[in-house]
A and B are shown apart, each in its own frame.
Chain A
Amino acid sequence: MDDIFNALILLSNFVIVPGMAYGSQLAIGALGVTLIYGILRFSNFAHGDTMAFGTMATILLTWALQDWGVSISPLPTALLALPFGIACTVVLLLLTDRLVYRFLRREKAAPVVFLIASVGVMFVLNGLVRFIIGPNDQRFADGERFIMKAREFKRMTGLSEGVAFKTSQGLTIVTAVIVVAALFWFLNRTRAGKSMRAYSDNEDLALLSGINPERVVLITWTLAAALATIAGVLYGLDKSFKPFTYFQLLLPIFAAAIVGGLGNPLGAIAGGFIIAFSEVTVTYAYRKFLAYSIPGDWAPEGLVQLLSTDYKFAVSFVILVLVLLLRPTGIFGGRTAS
C-alpha cells in the first residue's frame, strides 16, 4: 500500500505541483496575448520581451529594497517591487502604442504589418533589457524558500518519498487565482470591461454605441502590461531570470492562447494548463514511479522518459499543430481561423 502512496507522492512532487505552477505562469502570459489579440487583432511577438522588461524593472527595485534592508519575509521582496515593475511596463507599452501601433491603426494596416512592428518592438526591448541588466541569469528570490520541505513531509507521513512545495509555487498559484478572478470581474462587471468585450466582439457596433476606441486600447495595454509583468516575475521567482528564456517562452504562450482559442480569456487559462501539463508529463522520467507501482522485477531499466527536456518546445509545437489541424479556432472557440 505504501508503494502506491509513494508513487502518487512522487508524481505530485515532480509533475502535479510544478505543472500547476508552470501552468499558472503560462496562463497569465497567454491571457495578455489573448487580450491584445481580441482588441488590437494581432499576435504580439513582443510579449515575451515585455515580460522580461517588467521582470527586470521589478528585479532592479528588489535589489534596491534588499540593499535598504526592506523585507516582507517569509514572502519574497519582489512582491513589494511588483507594483513598481507593473507601472514601468505600463508606461513602456503605452509609449510603444503611441509611437508605433497608433500610427498603424490610423493607417488601417494589415494584421501582418502589426505583427512585423511587434517584432521590431521585440528587438528594441530585447536590446534594452540586455543593455540594462545583461544577458545572464539573475536570481532575485529571497524569503522562505519552502512552504513544505520534502524532509518534513516524509517525517509527517512516514513515507519514503516527499513532496516539496516551494514558496514560489504556492505564490504563483495563489496569485494566478487572484489575477484571474480580478480580470474576469473587470471584464464582466465594470463598464470599462464591458466596453472592451463589446469592442472585441464587434468593432463597428461598439464605435456606433459611442465607445471610445483609444480608451479601450489604453486599458488593454495597461492590462497586458500588468499580466506580462506578473507572469514574468512569477516565472523568474520560480526558476530564474534570463532574457533569452523569456523570448523562448513565446512559443508555449502562443500555443496556450491558440489551443484555448485566440481572443478567448477562459481558453487562454485552460490552454496554459494543457501546455504546461503536457510538457511536464512528457519530459518526466518515470522510472522511479514505475518501480513503485509495478510489483517485483517488472520495473524497467531505463529512465522511461518519453522525450528529453531539451525537446520541451516540441511538446507545445505538437499540440499547436494538432489544434491547427483539427480545430483551428481552438478548443473553446476564439475568433475565426481565417
Chain B
Amino acid sequence: MNLTNGNLRPILMFAAMAAALATVGVVQSWSLSLAIMNLCLISAVMSLGVNIQWGYAGLFNVGVMGFAALGGVCGVLIATPPVMAAWRAGGNGIIIALFIALATILAAIFIMKRMPDGRLKKLTFTAVIVAGFFLGRAVFDPAVESIEAIEPAKTGYLGGLGLPILLSWVVGGLLAAAVAWVVGKIALGLRSDYLAIATLGISEIIIAVLKNEDWLTRGVKNVSGLPRPVPYEIDLQQALWFQEWAGYLGATPVEFSSIFVKLCYAGLFTAVLLAVLWLSERALNSPWGRMMRAIRDNEVSAEAMGKNVTGRHLQVFILGSAVIGIAGAMLTTLDGQFIPTSYQPLRFTFIIWVMVIVGGSGNNWGAVLGGFVIWFFWIEAEPIGLWLMDVLTSGMAEDSGLRKHLLNSAAHMRLMTMGLILLLVLRFSPRGLIPER
C-alpha cells in the first residue's frame, strides 16, 4: 500500500485509537482495556451494518435496536438447553398456534391477491383475520400458561435448542434479515421518512415482545448463564498448563485467566469484523457497489438507466440488518446473558448512528473507526464527566443540593454530548473522520 496523503490519515487515526486503548490498559487496567475493545469490535460490526444501509444507499434505519435484539435473542434460542417439561406441557399448543397464525396470514394474502374487489372481499378478509386471531389465541393462551407454570423461578420457558452458541451468530443474522425483508417490503419505495418511522415502530414492538413473551425469552426475568464459545476462567485457573503459562508471563492465574478469556473473545470478534469488512469493501468496489452509490446520489437518473431502485434498496436494507443481527448475537454471547430491558434506543440505535456519521458515512473503514472512537468515549465519558463535574462544583459547599444534583446527573451528560457530537459533525465535517473516496 503506498502511503500517499489519502491513506496516511486513516492509518494514523487507527494508530491513535490503539494508543488510547493502550493508555487505558496502563493507567486503569488491561482487563478493562480489553473489555472496552471487545465492545468496540461489536460496535464496529454494528456500524458497518448501518453504514451498508446509510452509506451505500442512503436508507435511514431508526430500528437498529430491534435488529440487534433479534440477533441477541437467538443466543437464547440456539444455545440454552431445551426445557423438556415445558415442551411436553405446551410445546404442541405453541406450534399449532404458530401454524394457525401462518395459515391466517397466507389466507389473508391469498384473499388480497386473488379475490375480485368489492364488499365481499373486505368482509371475507376481515372474517378470516378475526377468526384466525381468536382461534390462535384459544390454542395459544392455555399453552403459554402451562409453559410458564413450570418452575417459573428457574425456567418457565421453552428453552433453546442446546446447540453451540456460535451458531446463533448465523441464525441471528438470518432472523434479522427476515424481519428486515417484511419491513422493507412495506416501507421502502415510499418517502425516506416512512422507513424511519416504520423501523422505529418495529424495533419498539420487537422489544415489547421480548419483554412480555415469557414462554419464549423469560421476559424481564432474563436468561443468564448462556453457554460460552470460550473456556471458563475457573477451569483455566485450575489447569496446570495455564498456571505454568501465567507464571512464565509473571501474572497471577486469576488475573491472567480474565485477560485470556477476553482475548479469546477479541479473536472471535476480530475474525467476524474482518470478514464483514472484507465483504463490504469487495461489494462497495464492485459494479454492484457503484450502482448502489449511483442510486443513492440520484435515484431518478438511476431509475432512468433501468435500475430497480426499490428492489436494490430492499436488498441493501436486508444485508445491513443481517450484519446488525450478527453483531447483536455477538453481544449476547459476550455478556453471557440476555436482558430484554437493556435494549434502550439511545444506547442501541442512536449511538450506532453517531458512530457511522462521525466515522464517515459511505466509508467502511470510517464506520469501523467510528465504532471504536465513539464506544471508547461513551465508556470513558462517564469517569471524565464525573471528574469534570467534581472539579466544576468543588467551589460549592459539600452538602449543597445543587452540587448533589449535578453530580447525580452527570451520567445524562453523555446523551447530550453524543447529540452535540452528531450535530457538530453534521455541520462542520459532514463527511466524517475518514471521508468516502
**Residues in A lying within 8 Å of B, measured CB to CB:** 37, 42-43, 45, 99-100, 103-104, 110-113, 115-117, 119-128, 130-132, 134-135, 247-248, 250-251, 254-255, 258, 262, 302, 306, 308, 310-311, 313-314, 316-317, 320-321, 324-325, 328, 337-338
Are B420 and A124 in contact, CB atoms less than 8 angstroms apart?
Answer: yes
Residue picked from B58, B191, B418, most chain A C-beta under 10 Å = B191
Are B192 and A112 in contact, CB atoms less than 8 angstroms apart?
Answer: yes
Are B191 and A130 in contact, CB atoms less than 8 angstroms apart?
Answer: no
Tell me, in angstroms, the Cα distance from A132 to B190 when the chains sit together.
39
9 inter-chain pairs at a CB distance below 8 angstroms, sorted by A residue, are: A99-B423, A110-B192, A113-B430, A119-B62, A126-B346, A127-B416, A313-B205, A324-B186, A328-B194
By a CB distance below 8 angstroms, the chain B residues around A117 are 423, 426
Query: In angstroms, how far is the closest chain B Cβ from the Cβ of A134?
Result: 7
**Residues in B lying within 8 Å of A, measured CB to CB:** 58, 60, 62, 133, 141, 186-187, 189-194, 196-198, 200-202, 204-205, 208-209, 211-212, 345-346, 350, 353, 357, 408-409, 412-420, 422-423, 426-427, 430
- In the complex, what residue of chain A is closest to B351 when comparing beta carbons? A123
By a CB distance below 8 angstroms, the chain A residues around B357 are 116
4 additional A-B residue pairs with CB within 8 Å, beyond A100-B423, A120-B420, A308-B212: A127-B414, A324-B186, A324-B187, A337-B190
Given A123-B422, A126-B419, A328-B190, are A43 and B204 neighbors across the interface (CB < 8 Å)? no
Are A43 and B196 in contact, CB atoms less than 8 angstroms apart?
Answer: yes
Query: In angstroms, how far is the closest chain B Cβ from the Cβ of A239?
Result: 18
Are A124 and B419 in contact, CB atoms less than 8 angstroms apart?
Answer: yes
Are A251 and B201 in contact, CB atoms less than 8 angstroms apart?
Answer: yes
- In the complex, what residue of chain A is closest to B59 when comparing beta carbons? A112
Are B201 and A316 in contact, CB atoms less than 8 angstroms apart?
Answer: yes
Tell me, in angstroms, the Cα distance from A42 to B60 when the chains sit together.
13
By a CB distance below 8 angstroms, the chain B residues around A314 are 205, 208
Closest 4 CB pairs of A and B: A123-B419, A127-B416, A127-B415, A124-B419
By a CB distance below 8 angstroms, the chain B residues around A116 are 60, 353, 357, 422, 426
Tell me, in angstroms, the Cα distance from A63 to B191 when the chains sit together.
43
Are A320 and B345 in contact, CB atoms less than 8 angstroms apart?
Answer: no
Are A317 and B201 in contact, CB atoms less than 8 angstroms apart?
Answer: yes
- In the complex, what residue of chain B is closest to A99 when comparing beta carbons? B423
Tell me, in angstroms, the Cα distance from A314 to B413 when the chains sit together.
32
Are A320 and B58 in contact, CB atoms less than 8 angstroms apart?
Answer: no
Are A247 and B345 in contact, CB atoms less than 8 angstroms apart?
Answer: yes
Tell me, in angstroms, the Cα distance from A317 to B345 when the chains sit together.
17
Tell me, in angstroms, the Cα distance from A103 to B426 when the chains sit together.
10
Tell me, in angstroms, the Cα distance from A285 to B194 when the chains sit together.
32
Are B350 and A123 in contact, CB atoms less than 8 angstroms apart?
Answer: yes
Are A100 and B427 in contact, CB atoms less than 8 angstroms apart?
Answer: yes
Given A112-B58, A254-B197, A328-B194, are A135 and B412 neighbors across the interface (CB < 8 Å)? yes
Are A123 and B191 in contact, CB atoms less than 8 angstroms apart?
Answer: no
By a CB distance below 8 angstroms, the chain A residues around B415 are 123-124, 126-127, 130
Are A112 and B60 in contact, CB atoms less than 8 angstroms apart?
Answer: yes
Are A324 and B198 in contact, CB atoms less than 8 angstroms apart?
Answer: yes
By a CB distance below 8 angstroms, the chain A residues around B193 are 37, 42-43, 111-112, 115, 262
Tell me, in angstroms, the Cα distance from A148 to B431 when the chains sit together.
59
By a CB distance below 8 angstroms, the chain B residues around A123 are 346, 350, 415-416, 418-419, 422
Are A131 and B419 in contact, CB atoms less than 8 angstroms apart?
Answer: no
Tell me, in angstroms, the Cα distance from A328 to B416 when the chains sit together.
35
Tell me, in angstroms, the Cα distance from A45 to B419 when the chains sit together.
13
- In the complex, what residue of chain B is closest to A119 when comparing beta carbons? B350
By a CB distance below 8 angstroms, the chain A residues around B414 are 127
Are A124 and B423 in contact, CB atoms less than 8 angstroms apart?
Answer: yes
By a CB distance below 8 angstroms, the chain A residues around B196 are 43, 45, 112, 115
By a CB distance below 8 angstroms, the chain B residues around A317 are 198, 201-202, 204-205
By a CB distance below 8 angstroms, the chain A residues around B430 are 113
By a CB distance below 8 angstroms, the chain A residues around B198 are 317, 320-321, 324
